[in-house]
Chains A and B, each alone.
Chain A
Amino acid sequence: MFNYLLKRIFYAIPILISVNVFTFFLFFVVNTPDDMARLHLGNKHVTQEAIDNWKFERGYNKPLLWASELDGVKKISETIFFENSLKLFLFKFGQSDSGRDISFDISKRMWPSLAIALPVLIVGICLTLTIALFVAFFRATYIDSTGVLICVFMMSVSGLFYIIGGQYLIGKMLKLVPISGYSEGLSAVKFLILPVAIGVISGLGNGTRWYRTIFLEEVNKDYVRTARSKGFKESQIMLSHVLRNALIPIMTGVVVVLPSLFLGSLITESFFGIPGLGSYTIEAIRAQDFAIVRSMVFLGSLLYILGLILTDISYTLVDPRVRLN
């Protein structure tokens, strides 16, 4: 297993470099360092001298990928790409183009994102699994078909509708919780009820349908038939046998998102005024802040790879037949 993990980590390096190059290329195709400087300097009364000075301060006066006029290694090392990207692998995100420390900002903004994402994930899985088991238990009855119909309806509704509708109904009409906002500590609970509830409800249709399919697949397998023939109750079979064996595909979907939970959700955080990381990258793209964009893309890809590795490991934990080698 150790060798397998080592191999996966080595595979990750070229992937991360490629993602970096790709991000770099896409960003600078749209924005030149001059454009970035102009935007940061306010677009009014900006002189070329001020632009050159801004670029010099941040190292954007160097060639993008290849310094043809220099010799040897400097052709690569004295470029914007090399100077900015290498540090990422050491987790030194440096400073944003507006002068803020990126690591500091990430460490501050990840907690509110996590405060929403974690309850949504946990409550969502518990509730979805319960409903899916319930529907699968009543398979081929009007409860099942009504359940599926409701799920399809819920899946078809846009996520934005849930947010606006939820805010309107719970916050504005019923006045039960604040429409938006955030607070630290325990007082954050009243602000989290609505986004978490909406996050859970908006994922119910999709999740229930998916888990129900998994359960139904398991229900028709031989070991379930054997359990029935042994005289186990249907509820006992669903909980002890079907649920346990259905965990593998469920785990694939869950573990892979675990590491990136703190990256937050753009729309939810925007509508509920949650000071999380969800909008960090989008704000940076709008502000043409390459330092933040490259850091967040790097972090995102790294966490996704980590999620995939964790998924592989989790396979071995839930299914003894699986070996990593």
Chain B
Amino acid sequence: MYLYKFYFIFFIFIIGCSKPWNNPYSTEKESYSIHYSSFAERPKHLDPVSSYSENEARFISQIYEPLVQYHYLDRPYRLEALTATKLPEPMLVHDESINYSIYKVRIKPGILYQPHPCFAKDPQGNFVYHDLTSEQVSQIKTFSFFTSTGTRELTAHDYAFQIKRLAHPQKHSPVLGLMSKYIVGLKELKEKLLASSQKGQVIDLKKFNIAGVKVVNNYEFEIKIYGKYPQFKYWLAMNFFAPIPWEAEAFFSQTGFKEKNLSLDWYPVGTGPYMLTENNPNRRIILKKNPNYDPTLRPSIEHNKQRIDLNFDREVDEAHFILEKEAIPEWSKFLQGYYDASGILSDSFDQVISINSRGDANLSSDIEAKGVNLVKAVKPSIAYMGFNMTDPLIGGYSEKQKFLRRAISIAINYEELLSIFANGRGLVAQGPIPPGIFGYLNGLSGVNEHVYQWTEKGPRRKSIEIAQDLMSRAGYPEGIDTTTGKRLTLFYDTVLGGPSGKAVLNWYRKQFKKLGIELIVRATDYNRFQEKIRKGTAQIFSWGWNADYPDPENFLFLLYGPNSKVETQGENATNYQNPEFDNLFLKMMETPNGVSRQKIIDRMVELLREDSPWVWGYHPTTYTLYHKWMKGVVPNLMARNTLKYKTINQNERREYRAKANQPVLWPLVFVVITIFAIFFICLFRVKKDKTTSV
């Protein structure tokens, strides 16, 4: 019994220090307002010059501040000035028979960088950590080695410096190729830097100039781009155009830093509301409030808070992002109140969501009783099935080929796919433009009449008989090729695999079978799949696109002829070519949002629907759950810097956690008693045996 007591006291000693027992966080942080959430995939880059993925933007968008940002509440999405005094507007100039657009930018004075050792100076004004000796570098174990920090004011030079960084050959910016087409002098700078790099020289960007970026003074600069490219303003909202101080680059470029993994890619330096204080992407990433952040120099957040009717408690002091590779523990911890937000597991979807008679998804009563809120939003993206237009069978522009593609478009019932494989989380697409983006039309005017018919209840997919009739007109009655007498066989290239992938592929086969078409699935790895798309050897495939910015151009360019994958390695994966569409595309690009632009887009979409290079697929919908103590949550799928709008009610969270996590001890006691019982039974048996043998 003494042993039992010892174990019990030991157990209490270890985990009893924090209440509740299963609290994964240390208690001393209770006084802070901390937002807890998880991430499944570690970010690869935190340097804004090379970061281009969603899971990275989630962190760096809280740290870096580009010139402009997306308004948190307004829809359709619109830009507003962030560090700039106003939205930069292009000024057209004509110089030696070339058209240019000049963006004159003025930034707000008084904006400060977060405290960082790269700015630390001694009393004489010299940088403390810029010329470290190899001996000093060898002493660095962690970033906390740098005890002194400093700051300085944001200047126009920092924006110019970052634009030059895009051309740095060792930074490998993913947008360098695209931006070289627009920013004057970027291509030339890239070549100069590459030549220096190949000679083995250390590149000091301060010594290089770029023709298209002119710094007027500390608060003003100009960016000159070729021709008209109205969408450039959206690029200015991306982290590629966030300011980087030269001091940070000089600090991290020191000899020996790379071997210690000290780089701007790991320790960002920004002016944003938060700064990164711990970067262990294998465990957690912590952001803390930037003490130098002055909200009065940014667009009014208070105003936004009033508009979303906030019960304002307290802004987030710290954000802890915890690595959760598996969804089950993440979901359990959300229910225990240890995460403020969560997605929904496919397996537990039915327990969380109930669909009412009108088909609306709402929270189940059990989850609602826990005080959880559901936020739904259609993503500005599209998942589609593409036909390779260079393929002689499924591609081409003859009437018969169009009939074949339209018949397939009707037969593939995406409503059913979403219902079976995605719990209905998606909106079936009528064209390439998702909701929330200019050019998208709702209701009757937005219906793809080649695939749907309008009814009182909304759009309804045309019957399979109509699709079969189209097949006959295409020369394949009941799927039989009238010229050869053989069944039509098509090939579908995919990276899907595993049990769930097989189910989807079987479903696709069934859809094609409705038309008598035999679908042969060619499963492969992603590398080979991409190679097939690049070479144009795939026939039918599924792909998707996530918006870079909320402009129809960012979707319609996926079908613009000169972007053909086979010819130019562009993003037009189906290699669709239509001269009328291409002409309209150029016109649409330069036309500001308004009636005339809508007319152009409508015509372009109609051409696409008629030619059907894609089966339009669906726009995925995100379902996110938030606990009631988290306020200020508005679905905004373009803005990533949204942490600053959120608030936490600490008391509510503490109460919920205490209530939901009362330890249950009796099974533990039961197990201990059982073990002792077994032990004593065995002891009894030994004694009995001894007695018997005597």
- Tell me, yes or no, whether B258 is within 8 Å of chain A by CB: yes
Say yes or no: B22 contacts A45, CB within 8 Å: no
Whether a CB of chain B sits under 8 angstroms from the CB of A212 is no
Question: Could you say which residues of chain B place their CB within 8 Å of the CB of A273?
Answer: 283, 322-325, 329
Residues 511-553 of B, flagged 1 when their CB comes within 8 A of A and 0 if not, give 0000000000000010100110000000000000000100000
Q: Are A176 and B26 in contact (CB under 8 A)?
A: no
Which residue from chain A places its CB closest to the CB of B265 in the assembled complex? A99
Check A50 against B265 for contact (C-beta < 8 Å).
Answer: no
Residues of B within 8 A of A222 (CB): none
CB of A141 within 8 A of CB of B24, answer no
Residue A220 at the chain B interface, CB threshold 8 Å? no
The CA-CA distance from A134 to B678 in the complex, in Å, is: 12
Which of A99, A109, A183 has its CB near the most chain B CB atoms (within 10 A)? A99
> Taking the complex as formed, is A263 at the interface, i.e. its CB lies under 8 A from any CB of chain B?
no
Which residues in A have their C-beta under 8 angstroms from that of B52? 42, 44
Residues 88-115 of chain A, each 1 if its beta carbon lies under 8 Å from chain B, else 0: 0000000100111100110011001000
A245 interface residue (CB < 8 Å to B): no
Residues in B whose Cβ lies below 8 Å from that of A271: 325-326, 328-329
The reply to whether B527 and A183 contact each other, CB–CB distance below 8 Å, is no
Taken together as a complex, chains A and B put the C-alpha atoms of A172 and B548 apart, in Å, by 40
- A45 to nearest B CB, angstroms? 5
Beta-carbon contact of B20 and A45 below 8 Å: no
A283 touches B42 (CB 8 A): yes
Max chain A Cβ within 10 angstroms of own Cβ: one of B24, B198, B336: B24
Chain B residues positioned under 8 Å from A30 (CB to CB): 525, 527
Q: Which of B364-380 contact A (CB under 8 A)?
A: none
Determine the residue in chain B with the shortest Cβ distance to A186: B14
> Nearest chain B CB to A169's CB is how many angstroms away?
8
A173 to B172, CA, bound (A): 49
Question: Smallest Cβ distance from A274 to chain B, in angstroms?
Answer: 8
Q: A101-B260, A134-B682, A273-B322 are in contact. Are A45 and B329 (CB under 8 A)?
A: no
Question: CB-CB < 8 A to B338: which residues of A?
Answer: 178
**Distance in Å: Cβ of A59 to nearest Cβ of chain B:** 13
Interface: B175 (CB within 8 A): yes
B174 contacts across to A, CB distance below 8 A = 41-42, 44-46, 50
Q: Which of B207-215, B605-613, B660-668 contacts A (4 or more CB under 8 A)?
A: B660-668
A35, A105, A112, A182: which contacts B530 (Cβ < 8 A)? A35
- Complex-state Cα separation, A134 to B258, whole angstroms: 55
User: How many residues of chain B get a CB closer than 8 Å to chain A's CBs?
Assistant: 62
Query: Is there an interface contact between A191 and B53, defined as CB atoms closer than 8 Å?
Result: no
- The answer on a CB contact under 8 Å between B280 and A275 is yes
| Given known A-B contacts A175-B664, A273-B322, A53 and B169 have beta carbons under 8 A apart | yes
Given A30-B527, A40-B172, A44-B174, CB of A177 within 8 Å of CB of B22: yes
A293 to B421, CA, bound (A): 34
Residue B23 at the A interface, CB < 8 A? Answer: yes
Q: Is the CB of A275 within 8 A of B323?
A: yes
A281-307 interface (Cβ within 8 A of B): 283, 287-288
Q: Which residues does chain A contribute within 8 Å of B169, judged by CB atoms?
A: 53, 57
Neighbour of A275 across the interface among B44, B282, B333, B548, CB < 8 A: B282
- Inter-chain contacts of B175 with A (CB < 8 A): 45
Out of B328, B569, B662, which one reaches A48, CB within 8 Å? B569
Asked, given contacts A175-B661, A180-B24, A283-B42, whether A193 binds B172 with beta carbons under 8 Å apart, the answer is no
Residues of A near B53 (CB, < 8 A) are 42
B176 contacts the other chain (CB 8 A)? yes
Per the bound structure, the CA–CA distance linking A272 and B665 in Å amounts to 22
> Within the assembled complex, what's the spacing in Å between the Cα atoms of A16 and B65?
49
Q: Contacts A48-B569, A98-B45, A179-B22 given: A141-B685 contact, CB under 8 Å?
A: yes
Beta-carbon nearest neighbor of B328 in chain A: A164
Counting chain B CB atoms within 10 Å of each CB, the highest count among A138, A164, A172, A181 belongs to: A181
Task: Check B177 for interface membership: any CB of A closer than 8 A.
Answer: yes
Closest-CB distance, A31 to chain B (whole angstroms): 6
Task: State A191–B259 Cα separation when bound (angstroms).
Answer: 31
Q: Please tell me which one of the listed residues A43, A53, A54, A190 contacts residue B15 in the complex, with CB atoms under 8 A apart.
A: A190
- Given A175-B22, A176-B22, A283-B42: A104 and B527 interface contact (C-beta under 8 Å): no
- In the complex, what residues of A have CB within 8 A of residue B260's CB? 101, 104
Given known contacts A42-B52, A182-B283, is B261 in contact with A101 (CB within 8 Å)? yes
Q: Of residues 6 to 43 in B, which have CB atoms within 8 Å of A's CB atoms?
A: 14-15, 18, 20-24, 26, 42
* Cα-based distance from A53 to B662 in the complex (angstroms): 58
In the complex, A30 Cα to B528 Cα: how many Å? 9
From B259, B265, B668, A101 is in contact (CB under 8 Å) with: B259
**Residue A73, interface by CB 8 Å:** no
Which B545-576 residues sit within 8 Å CB-CB of chain A? 548, 569, 571
B591 at the A interface (CB under 8 A): no
Instruction: Decide if B668 touches A174 in the complex (CB within 8 Å).
Output: yes
In the complex, B593 has a CB within 8 A of chain A = no
Return the chain A residue nearest B52 by Cβ.
A42
Chain B residues in 8 Å Cβ range of A108: 282
Report B-chain residues with C-beta under 8 Å of the C-beta of A109. Answer: 282
Out of B172, B280, B332, name the residue touching A53 (CB < 8 Å). Answer: B172
Is A189 interfacial (CB 8 A cutoff)? yes
Assess the B329–A179 pair: CB atoms within 8 A. Answer: yes
Within the assembled complex, what's the spacing in Å between the Cα atoms of A177 and B17?
12
Given the complex of chains A and B, what is the CA–CA distance between A143 and B332 in angstroms?
38
Report the separation of the CA atoms of residues A175 and B335 in the bound assembly, to the nearest whole angstrom: 12
B263 in the interface, Cβ–Cβ < 8 Å? Answer: yes
Are B333 and A177 in contact, with the CB atoms below 8 A?
A: no
Query: Which residues of chain A (41-78) have a CB below 8 Å from chain B?
Result: 41-50, 53-54, 56-57
A167 within 8 A of B: yes
For the complex, give the distance between the alpha carbons of A30 and B525 in Å.
8
Distance, CA A61 to CA B20, complexed state (A): 56
Q: At the interface, yes or no: A3 with Cβ under 8 Å from chain B?
A: no
Q: B149 near A: Cβ within 8 Å?
A: no
The yes or no answer to A241 lying at the interface (CB within 8 A) is no
Q: Is B170 interfacial (CB-CB < 8 Å)?
A: yes
Inter-chain contacts of B571 with A (CB < 8 A): 44-45
Tell me the A182-213 residues at the B interface (CB within 8 Å). Answer: 182-183, 187, 189-191, 193
For A172, the chain B residues whose CB sits under 8 A away are: 332, 335-336
Q: Is A171 an interface residue when CB atoms closer than 8 A count as contact?
A: yes
Take A31-B527, A134-B682, A189-B14 as given contacts and tell me if A41 and B172 are in contact as well, using a CB distance cutoff of 8 Å: yes
A180 CA to B330 CA, complexed, in Å: 8
**Taking the nearest CB of chain B, how far is it from the CB of A96, in angstroms?**
10
User: Contact at A178–B258, with CB atoms within 8 Å?
Assistant: no
**A236 at the binding interface (Cβ < 8 Å):** no
A176 near B668: Cβ-Cβ < 8 Å: yes
Question: Considering the chains assembled together, what is the distance between the CA atoms of A176 and B333 in angstroms?
Answer: 13
User: Are B663 and A175 closer than 8 Å at their CB atoms?
Assistant: yes
Which one of A45, A175, A270 contacts B325 once the chains associate, using CB atoms below 8 Å? A270
The distance from the CB of A219 to the nearest CB of chain B, in whole angstroms, is 16
B427 CB–A CB distance under 8 Å = no
- When C-beta atoms are compared, the residue in chain B nearest to A41 turns out to be B174
Which residues in A have their C-beta under 8 angstroms from that of B584? none
**A138 nearest CB neighbor, chain B only:** B682
Contact A143 B259 (CB under 8 A): no
B202 beta carbon closer than 8 Å to chain A: no
- Are A138 and B685 CB-contacts (below 8 A) given A45-B178, A179-B332, A190-B14? yes
| Cβ contacts A to B, 19 pairs, < 8 Å | A30-B527, A40-B172, A42-B53, A53-B172, A95-B258, A101-B261, A167-B328, A172-B336, A174-B668, A175-B336, A176-B664, A179-B329, A180-B24, A187-B26, A190-B15, A190-B21, A193-B14, A273-B283, A275-B283
Q: State the 7 A-B residue pairs at the shortest beta-carbon distance, nearest first.
A: A47-B177, A275-B283, A275-B282, A178-B24, A181-B24, A35-B527, A180-B329
7 further A-B pairs in the complex, CB-CB below 8 A; given A35-B531, A190-B14: A45-B571, A57-B170, A172-B336, A176-B21, A179-B333, A270-B326, A273-B283
Task: Name B's A-contacting residues (CB within 8 A).
Answer: 14-15, 18, 20-24, 26, 42, 44-45, 52-53, 169-170, 172, 174-178, 194, 198, 258-261, 263, 265-266, 280, 282-283, 322-326, 328-329, 332-333, 335-336, 338, 525, 527, 530-531, 548, 569, 571, 661-665, 667-668, 682, 685
